[in-house]
Amino acid sequence: MRIIAHRTIVEYSEQQPLAKTALECWYKTAKAAQWKSIQDIKQAFNSVDYVGNKRYVFNIKGNDYRLIVKILFVQQIIYIRFIGTHTEYNKIDCSTI
């Protein structure tokens, strides 16, 4: 998968160093993947949830952080839309990201 943009993970990891290892692990796994559906994603990340409009939520670092991405399966592209804590996640409207 092509991930847009890795810089978002790097920048968030600088702000939240405790998330760095888990986010880099997610990135390496997703980059090497060739997902065709949510069932494929669940083989690597069982806790992923589909929230509509091609958006998927991943629990990161034992559920301490949330990562929201938009996945275009045919094009094999992942767009990082949000990284944050559960508190930050609860304050956003997923349909706007």
3-class SS string, 68-84: EEEEECCCCEEEEEEEE
The pLDDT, as a whole number, for residue 95 is: 61
Q: What is the pLDDT of residues 23-44, one digit of tens each?
A: 999 999 999 999 999 999 999 9
The CATH number given to whatever domain includes residue 82 is: 3.30.2310.20
Helix (H) or strand (E) segment spanning residue 58: strand 55-60
Q: Which residues constitute the domain of residue 6? A: 2-96
Both tokens of 19, joined, read 């998330």
Count of domains observed in the chain: 1
Query: Can you tell me the distance from the alpha carbon of 41 to that of 25, in angstroms, rounded to the nearest whole number?
Result: 14
39 and 27 Cβ atoms separated by less than 8 Å = no
Look at residue 91 and tell me whether its pLDDT is greater than 70: no
Q: What is the pLDDT of residues 51-75, one digit of tens each?
A: 989 999 999 998 889 999 999 999 9
Query: Can you tell me the distance from the alpha carbon of 11 to that of 13, in angstroms, rounded to the nearest whole number?
Result: 5
Query: Can you tell me the distance from the alpha carbon of 83 to that of 76, in angstroms, rounded to the nearest whole number?
Result: 20
